[in-house]
Amino acid sequence: MVSATVGRGAVLGAVALSLLALPARATATEPDARAAVPRVALPAPDTAGLAAALRSAVDRGAPGALARIDDQGRTYEATRGVADLSTGRAISADDRFRVGSVTKTFSAIVLLQLADEQRLALDAPVNRYLPKLLPDDRITVRQVLSHRSGLYDYTDDLFADSVSGFEAVRNKVFTYRQLVALSLKKPRTNEPGAAYSYSNTNFVVAGMLIEKLTGHSVRTEYEDRIFRPLHLRDTFYVHPETGIPGRYARGYLTPDRAGDPLVDATEQTVSWAQSAGAIISSARDLDTFYSALLGGRLLSTARLEEMEHFTRVGTTTSYGLGLRRRDLPCGVSVYGHTGVVQGYSTYAFASKDGARSLTAMADTSDNGKVADALGRALDAAFCGKAGKAAKG
Active site residues: 101
**Contacts of 247 by beta carbon, 8 Å cutoff, 6+ apart:** 92, 94, 95, 96
Query: 3-state DSSP call for residue 59?
Result: helix
| CB of 154 closer than 8 Å to CB of 200 | yes
**Pair 305, 34: CB distance under 8 Å:** no
Alpha-carbon distance 199 to 208, whole Å? 15
DSSP 71-133: ETTEEEEEEEEBS-TTT-PBP-TT-EEE-GGGHHHHHHHHHHHHHHTTS--TTSBHHHHSTTS
357 neighbors 347 (Cβ within 8 angstroms) = no
Residue 262 is classified by DSSP as P
What kind and span of H or E run contains 327?
A: strand 324-327
Please state the φ and ψ torsions of residue 311, each to the nearest 5 degrees. Answer: -115, 130
Using a CB cutoff of 8 Å and minimum separation of 24, what contacts does 212-217 make?
Answer: 212/129, 212/130, 213/114, 213/119, 213/120, 213/129, 214/114
Which residue type, as a one-letter code, is found at position 132? K
CB 97 within 8 A of CB 248: yes
- For residue 106, CA distances in Å to 101, 218, 230, 390 come to 10, 10, 12, 33
Strands 263-264 and 252-253, bridge-based pairing? antiparallel
